[in-house]
Chain A
Amino acid sequence: MAEQKNAMQKILKGKSFKFGDDISTDLIAPGRYFHLRSNMPELAKHVLEDADMEFAQKVKQGDFIAAGKNFGLGSSREHAPAIIKLAGVGAVLAKSFARIFFRNSINIGLPVLICDTDKIDENDELEIDLGLGLIKNVTKNIELGFKALPDVMIKLLNDGGLVEHITKNKGFNL
């Protein structure tokens, strides 16, 4: 899995893929592919399959997901944000996130941004400055902010995730 060092210092650019409300972990990483959890690249080919059958084929490195409320509800399966990241998604934007999905995303270095995704449509070109807290919808020529993350989470994202943080600091240093 590609690490994102200094995640908050980067500017991300890509296209947005729009999803609705309540995208569950069963839609992101369906139970019938349970046996592929030991083969993440293979599992990633089925990411979000039951929400959008073609997403896994269409998504390119650096693209974004823009969803409604309660993205990632349901299971604690870390495979859900992991295969989203593996599929190339640079950040997930949503009106709100389910707790465990949100936490897992921070832990694996996948930026999760709470913002008004009504202002983003399918295929909009976005530029996201994580350090400044700004999302620029280039297609619509509008700017939106996202809810600031607590320092602890910024630290984890900057380290590339929890494993990287623990390894670097030989324990917690939050």
Chain B
Amino acid sequence: MDKTISEKIISSHAGRDVYAGDIAVVDVDVVMAQDGTGPLAVSQLKKMGFEKVKNPTKSIFFIDHASPSPRKELSNSQSVLRNYAKNAGMVLSDVGRGVCHQILVEDFVSPGQIVIGADSHTCTPGALGAFSTGMGSTDIAVGFALSKTWLMVPQTIKINFINEPCKGVYAKDLIIYLIGQITAEGATYKALEFGGSYAKKMTIDDRFTISNMAVEAGAKAGIFESDDITEKFLKSQDRENEYREIRADKNPVYEQTIEIDCSMVEPMISMPHTVDNTCTIGNIGKVRVDQVLIGTCTNGRLIDLRVAADILKGKKVDKNVRLIVVPASKKVYLEAIKEGIIETLIESGAAVQSPGCGPCVGVHQGILGDGEICLSTQNRNFKGRMGNPDSFIYLSSPAVAAYSALKGYISDVREIL
């Protein structure tokens, strides 16, 4: 029987043919946790009697969520990770290196792998043609210990992106649009397979943004086929020998197929307090913003910072707005410095922070005051997400975020393109 990408990858790791609905114990290639979820994984490892991990070079702790640590309890939790990693010979990605999902795609994941991470946005590496999914600390502890996990093979929803988007419309708009259409539980327990004529043309950064937000529709995974664009990216990270062709079979069984005509999509906003509470930029009304965040695993890459810098060059951010910029990784930060992007952003009024999750998780680096509004390029806007339940988070593309920082309220970037 023909297989979806998920069925193919899971079958190859289960040692037998499996299809949607089957449950299998599978080998995993890369296992990770971050500083919020890692400490609990360590205590579960110790509870099971594991002081070491099965596959140390592919077992990673990322210190990115509270990075650098803003308080001693978190510093102590991070010490737990550092100590365990040192003793077990694991990889430790420490303060300043960047967000886990960005490092995963830069340095660790290749097409056809199974990746599990104790962070819900672990779906991001699906952009490289891997089966990559978020789980909790206990699952990850077992993944570290045994290099295995239990998985139910998901049904797949095929998303076909067709036609070119118009100027001012980006990958972020496409995924927010899709989530608005199918809702936050539209793909629960399912894999999204992203295809269609336009998907083949999407840059690798477009694919990262889209795969990153698959979980916001409830999905287990968000996967693109691998191709020359994937290969080119791996080459840029000195990993071109890791390229493999990953395709679905000719006629797999998809639970449903949804077509998105990208030429009909406008700049999109997710309004408080759910990602699927979407509207087009034209319908947003006048929303004054107090803080703008450009960064995160969703849109903190070089292209995102460049788009923002092009809009902000020679101009000043509105006097009532704090613009916070957080590059997703050290590599991105260095490239942005070399290109003059960081200088441009700082000159315009941005506060540039060291690579990490920044204010996205509500732990530090930009918690909102009562009644304040933040426009962010992140992936989630739940009530209290950025540290204060009495605040409001809107989501957008980096272009809209940058232009809105200039204007002082959420604005349609197409006005200036």
Within the complex, which residue of B136, B367, B382 is in contact with A26, where a contact is CB–CB below 8 Å? B382
Segment among B68-76, B258-266, B300-308, B406-414 that sits at the interface with chain A: B68-76
- CB of A172 within 8 A of CB of B150, answer yes
Closest chain A residue, CB of each to CB of B117: A76
Q: A150-B152, A163-B138 are in contact. Are A37 and B36 (CB under 8 A)?
A: yes
Closest chain B residue, CB of each to CB of A35: B73
Within the complex, which residue of B73, B139, B362, B383 is in contact with A162, where a contact is CB–CB below 8 Å? B139
Within the complex, which residue of B44, B73, B136, B185 is in contact with A73, where a contact is CB–CB below 8 Å? B185
- CB of A34 within 8 A of CB of B382, answer no
CB-CB under 8 A from B117, the residues of chain A are: 76
- CB of B361 within 8 A of CB of A31, answer yes
Within the complex, which residue of B76, B139, B188 is in contact with A107, where a contact is CB–CB below 8 Å? B139
- CB of B138 within 8 A of CB of A107, answer yes
CB-CB under 8 A from B139, the residues of chain A are: 103-104, 107, 162
Closest chain A residue, CB of each to CB of B69: A35
CB-CB under 8 A from B23, the residues of chain A are: 150, 152, 174
Contact with B along A27-44 (1 / 0, CB 8 A): 100111011111100000
Q: In the docked arrangement, what's the CA distance between A37 and B220, Å? A: 25
CB-CB under 8 A from B65, the residues of chain A are: 34
Q: A22-B184, A26-B383, A166-B142 are in contact. Are A38 and B389 (CB under 8 A)?
A: no
Min CB gap A159→B, angstroms: 12
Closest chain A residue, CB of each to CB of B122: A76
Q: In the docked arrangement, what's the CA distance between A87 and B77, Å? A: 23
Q: A38-B76, A100-B134, A107-B136 are in contact. Are A31 and B385 (CB under 8 A)?
A: yes
Min CB gap A83→B, angstroms: 11
Indicate if B189 sits at the interface (CB-CB under 8 A). Answer: yes
- CB of B36 within 8 A of CB of A108, answer no
Q: How many residues on B have C-beta within 8 angstroms of the other chain's C-beta atoms?
A: 57
Indicate if A145 sits at the interface (CB-CB under 8 A). Answer: no
- CB of B40 within 8 A of CB of A174, answer no
Indicate if A62 sits at the interface (CB-CB under 8 A). Answer: no
- CB of A172 within 8 A of CB of B74, answer no
- CB of B118 within 8 A of CB of A76, answer yes
Indicate if B119 sits at the interface (CB-CB under 8 A). Answer: yes
Q: In the docked arrangement, what's the CA distance between A39 and B72, Å? A: 13
Closest chain B residue, CB of each to CB of A74: B382
- CB of A75 within 8 A of CB of B120, answer yes
Give the interface centre of B146, B148, B385 by most chain A CB atoms within 10 Å.
B385
Within the complex, which residue of B48, B138, B145, B384 is in contact with A104, where a contact is CB–CB below 8 Å? B138
Closest chain A residue, CB of each to CB of B367: A32
- CB of A70 within 8 A of CB of B36, answer no
Q: In the docked arrangement, what's the CA distance between A166 and B172, Å? A: 41
Q: How many residues on A have C-beta within 8 angstroms of the other chain's C-beta atoms?
A: 43
Indicate if B363 sits at the interface (CB-CB under 8 A). Answer: yes
Indicate if B279 sits at the interface (CB-CB under 8 A). Answer: no
CB-CB under 8 A from A162, the residues of chain B are: 138-139, 142
Q: In the docked arrangement, what's the CA distance between A161 and B139, Å? A: 10
Q: A103-B139, A107-B136 are in contact. Are A26 and B387 (CB under 8 A)?
A: no
CB-CB under 8 A from A75, the residues of chain B are: 119-120
Min CB gap A152→B, angstroms: 5
Contact with A along B53-87 (1 / 0, CB 8 A): 00000000000011000010110110010000000
Q: In the docked arrangement, what's the CA distance between A76 and B73, Å? A: 21
CB-CB under 8 A from B146, the residues of chain A are: 166, 171-172
Give the interface centre of B40, B119, B145 by most chain A CB atoms within 10 Å.
B40
- CB of A96 within 8 A of CB of B188, answer yes
Contact with A along B143-176 (1 / 0, CB 8 A): 0011010101000000000000000000000000
Q: In the docked arrangement, what's the CA distance between A74 and B385, Å? A: 10
CB-CB under 8 A from B387, the residues of chain A are: 31-32
- CB of A34 within 8 A of CB of B136, answer no
Give the interface centre of A34, A50, A107 by most chain B CB atoms within 10 Å.
A34
Q: In the docked arrangement, what's the CA distance between A26 and B289, Å? A: 22
- CB of B218 within 8 A of CB of A73, answer yes
CB-CB under 8 A from A30, the residues of chain B are: 362, 384, 389
Q: In the docked arrangement, what's the CA distance between A75 and B136, Å? A: 9
- CB of A24 within 8 A of CB of B382, answer yes
Q: A34-B66, A73-B184, A152-B23 are in contact. Are A78 and B138 (CB under 8 A)?
A: yes
Closest chain B residue, CB of each to CB of A173: B25
- CB of A77 within 8 A of CB of B73, answer no
- CB of A34 within 8 A of CB of B274, answer no
Extra pairs beyond A74-B382, A161-B138 (14, CB < 8 Å): A22-B274, A25-B382, A27-B384, A30-B389, A34-B36, A70-B188, A76-B37, A76-B117, A76-B118, A99-B188, A104-B135, A104-B136, A163-B141, A167-B48
A and B contact pairs by CB, cutoff 8 A, 17 listed: A27-B384, A30-B362, A34-B361, A35-B71, A76-B117, A78-B118, A78-B138, A99-B218, A100-B134, A161-B138, A162-B138, A162-B139, A166-B48, A166-B145, A172-B25, A172-B150, A174-B150
